[in-house]
Amino acid sequence: MVATGIATTRSAQRRPGPKVTKASSGFHSRVVGMLKLTLPLIASALILLVAAWPHLTQRDERFRIGVSTVSLEEATTVRMTKPRFTGIDAAERPYVMTADDALQQPNDPSVVELLRPKGDITLSNGSWIALMADNGNYYKDLKVLDAYGRVNVFHDSGYEFRTSSARFDMNAAAAEGNERVDGQGPFGTLVAQGFRVINRGAVVHFLGKSRMVIRRDYMSATR
pLDDT tens column, 115-129: 999 998 877 777 788
Terminal-residue alpha carbon distance, the chain: 144
Q: What is the per-residue pLDDT for 139?
A: 93
Contact 136/119 with Cβ under 8 angstroms?
no
What is the C-alpha separation between 2 and 23, in angstroms, rounded? 44
Considering 65-69, 131-135, 158-162, 194-198, the range whose residues carry the highest mean pLDDT is 131-135
Q: 174 vs 65, which has greater pLDDT?
A: 174
Residues 128-179 pLDDT 10s: 888 999 999 999 889 999 999 999 998 888 889 999 999 999 888 888 999 9
Full set of structural domains in the chain with CATH: 72-222 (2.60.450.10)
Between 32-36, 95-99, 148-152, 186-190, the lowest mean confidence (pLDDT) is in 32-36
Write down the pTM of the prediction.
Answer: 0.62
Q: What is the per-residue pLDDT for 207?
A: 93
Percent of the chain at pLDDT > 90 equals 31
Residue among 72, 148, 143 nearest 114 (CA):
148
Q: What is the per-residue pLDDT for 149?
A: 94
